A and B are shown apart, each in its own frame.
Chain A
Amino acid sequence: MEPEERAPSLLEAIKDFSEHSSPVDFVIIAQHWEMFLTGIGYTLLIVAVSLIVGGALSLPLAVARAYRTPIVNQIIFGYVYVFRGTPLLVQLYLVYYGLGQFEAVRDSIFWPVLKDPLWCTLLTFVLNTAAYTTEIFRGAIEAIPYGEVEAAKACGMSSFQRTTRIVLPNALRRALPAYSNEIIFMLHGSVVASTVTIVDILGAGRILNSKYYLAYEGFLAAAVLYMLLVLIITRGFKVWEKHWHAHLRPREV
C-alpha cells in the first residue's frame, strides 16, 4: 500500500481544517497553551499584588482625606489628582522608559528594582489603584449616616474607636460594589504591562500573532481569557456582597 494513499488521521484532519478552512486557527492557540498559562499567571500576579498593596495603602489615605486632616489632605489630593488624571499607559512609560534615562537613577540603589520590568509595573499599578481606591473609600466614609457616629459618641467611644469599630467596617461594606468595578478596571488596565516586555495574557496573544503573522487568533484567545476572569470576579463579588450586605437587604416579612 502506498503511504500517500492512507486516509489522514483524525488529528491531521482537525489540524488541516483549523489551518485552512476554519476562520480561526484554534489548533495554533491550543498548541501554545503553556504560553497563555504563563500569561494568566502574570496577569493574576500583577493584578492581585497591585490590589492588595494598593488597597492597604489607600485606607489611611482615605481616612485622612475624609477627616480633612490639614496639609496631609492637600498632599493626598495632589497625588490622587495626578494618578487619576493621567492614563495608566503614560504612567508606566514614565516609570519604565522615563526614569531609566537618568544616570542618577541608574546609579542609585533603586536601579535593581527599577531595572526589572515587573517591579516597574507593580510600582506603577500600586500607585494607580491606590489613588482610585482612596477616592472610593473616602466617598464611602463620607456617606456613613451621621446618626451612627452620634450613637457611637453617645456610647463614649473615642475618635479612634469610632473609626475602627463603626465607620470603617460600614464604609468598606458599602464600598464593595464600587470596588469590584475597580478590580475589573485593574484587570483590563493590566494589559499595558505587555508594552514593557511582560508576557501577560495580552503579551502571550501578541507573541502568538507576531510569530505566525496572524491577525486576531492571539487577541481572540486573550479576550476569551479576560472574559473568563471577569466572570469569576463578578460571581465571587456577588456571593461576597450577599454575605456582607445581609443586614442592608429589605427585611422579609
Chain B
Amino acid sequence: MKRFVTALAAAAVLAVATGIAPASAGEKLRIGVEGAYPPFSWKEADGTLMGFDIDIAMALCDKMGRECELVEQDWDGIIPALMAKKYDAIVASMSITEERKKRVDFTNKYYHEPAKFVAAKGSGLDASPDGMAGKSVGVQRGTIHQCYMEKVFPDTELRLYGTQEEVFLDLASGRIDAQIASSLQAEEGFLNTDAGKDFEFVGGDQFLLECHGEGAGIAVRKGEDELRESFNAAIKEIRDDGTYKAINDKYFETDIYGAEPGA
C-alpha cells in the first residue's frame, strides 16, 4: 500500500513538473522555430538560432512584454507539436493556408513573397506543367510547395525531403532537375552561396491562393484569441516604429512585408 501511495505521489509530482498549464502573462512564452531554413532561421555552429524569423519572434516578444523561449522543432511535426503544447506559437515562415487553418489559428501576415523554381544555369527548363512533365522536382515535405506541385504539376516527379537544406544538397549534386521554394529563401540560402553559383531562377512567380495562402503568419492553437491578438498588435507596432525595417534590412534588400493589408 505504502509503495502504491509513493508511486501515486511520484506520478503527481511528474504530472506537475511536466505540467501542461496554459500559457498566461508573466509566464515564459515558448515559440516553435525550425532552424534549417536560412535566411529565415538557421543554427550557428555553437547551437544558437539566427535568422529573420528568430529576430522577428524576439522583437514581437519584446513589444508584448513577454519573456520568450525558442523551441526548435523539425518542420514535419511543427503543427502537431504546437497542439501537443510543446510551445505556444510558431514563428517559422508558415504560410496562412486553408488546410492549416483547420488545425491552427493564424495572426495577420508578417511577410509575403512568391515561390519560384530553381534549376541549373542554361538548363532551358520550361516552368509550365507541360514543360516540367517527367522532370524530377525536389520539395520540402508538408509545405505549400508540395500542395502547389501536386495540384498544378501532376505529371512532374515529386521528390519529398525533410528539410529545405536537403533539397538544395540534391539540387547541387544534380539528382533532381529543379526545386521549388520561397524565392527569397532560395536566393539567400542557396543561389548566393558557393554551392548555388551555377543555378538560377526559372520561370516567373508561382502562385495558387488555395496552396500559397495570403502570406506567412504566426500560428497559435485554436481558440487562443488573446495571444493571437497580442501578436497582431505587436506586428503592427514593429511595422510602425521601424523595428521591422531594421530587421528586414539586415537580411534583404527589399521590403518583404508585401502589400499593406487592405491596400
Contacts and interface: CB of A to CB of B under 8 A. Distances in A.
Interface string A113-124: 001010000000
Given A207-B141, A209-B76, A209-B80, A100 B173 contact: yes
Interface string B98-127: 011011100000000000000000000000
A221 to B, nearest CB: 15
Interface string B136-170: 00100110001000000000000111100010011
A7 B161 CA distance: 43
B168 to A, nearest CB: 11
A97 B162 CA distance: 14
B76 A197 contact: no
Contact of B160 (A115, A197, A215): A197
Contact of A212 (B76, B99, B162): B99
B25 to A, nearest CB: 28
Interface in A92-123: 97, 100-101, 106, 115, 117
B84 A101 contact: no
A214 B79 CA distance: 8
A106 B160 contact: no
Contact of A206 (B79, B102, B141): B141
A213 B141 contact: no
Given A207-B141, A210-B142, A211-B146, A100 B169 contact: yes
Contacts, number: 55
Contacts of B142: 209-211, 213
B50 interface: no
Given A195-B162, A215-B84, A210 B76 contact: yes
* Most chain A Cβ neighbours within 10 Å, of B84, B103, B160, B169: B160
Contacts of B99: 212-213
B174 interface: yes
B76 A100 contact: no
B77 interface: yes
Interface residues of A, number: 20
Q: Name A's interface SS.
A: helix
B141 A210 contact: yes
Interface string A195-220: 10101000100110111111110000
Contacts of B58: none
A130 B103 CA distance: 46
Given A97-B169, A100-B169, A195-B162, A215 B77 contact: yes
A211 B142 CA distance: 5
B233 interface: no
B64 interface: no
Nearest to A211: B142
A212 B98 CA distance: 11
B80 A215 contact: yes
B100 A100 contact: no
Interface string B59-91: 000000000000000011101100110000000
Contacts of A214: 80
Given A97-B170, A195-B162, A210-B141, 4 more contacts: A197-B159, A197-B170, A213-B100, A213-B103
